[in-house]
Amino acid sequence: MSRDDVARLFIGLWPDEPTRRAFSAHRDAWHWPKRAAVMDDARLHATLHFLGDQPRKLVAPLLQGLAALRFEPFTLRLTKAAVWHGGIAVLEPEEVPQPLQALHAQAGAWLQSLGLAVETRPYRPHVTLSRRAFKAVPPAFVEPIVWTPARPVLVESDRGPPASYRVLG
């Protein structure tokens, strides 16, 4: 299979413009080390399931399946700034709403039915702000960001450079 026949994919929650601006303002309040790979505005999102490299022929069935998922609206209250093991700086919700947990589980079961592997660790929704963020300092106060995401979308990750994301639907 050639590189053109493969897409690096994930299912994500894509912010509207006011939410994206709030994510950007929060990100800009951090103190970043020189080597930090800070996410640009267009790449700020929350991942529901990372799919990795997949044949492009799966894009249409994935889009159809996403449209068929039951979706109950929910609200995330993002209030926790942290640097995870591995130097990943994130913004997390104070708690995971039950409809988001159900959506994650439903999508995982559907992906497994297609023969795709899913992450087995507990789901921790977050917005990645930077990679290589060792010794990054979050703001002393986190202004809560209240976000009601729309339905999940299928996104292709272009490795670049520069790296970019493209919402497929």
- The answer on pLDDT for 161 being more than 60 is yes
Model pLDDT, residue 51: 97
What is d(CA 87, CA 134) in angstroms, rounded to the nearest whole number?
Answer: 5
Put simply, whether the predicted model's pTM sits higher than 0.75 gets the answer yes
Pairing of strands 145-147, 76-84: antiparallel
Helices (H), 17-169: 17-28, 59-68, 98-113
* Domains located in the chain, CATH noted: 3-167 (3.90.1140.10)
Average pLDDT over residues 121-128: 95
Q: What digits encode the pLDDT tens for the residues 22-80?
A: 999 999 999 999 999 999 999 999 999 999 999 999 999 999 999 999 999 999 999 99
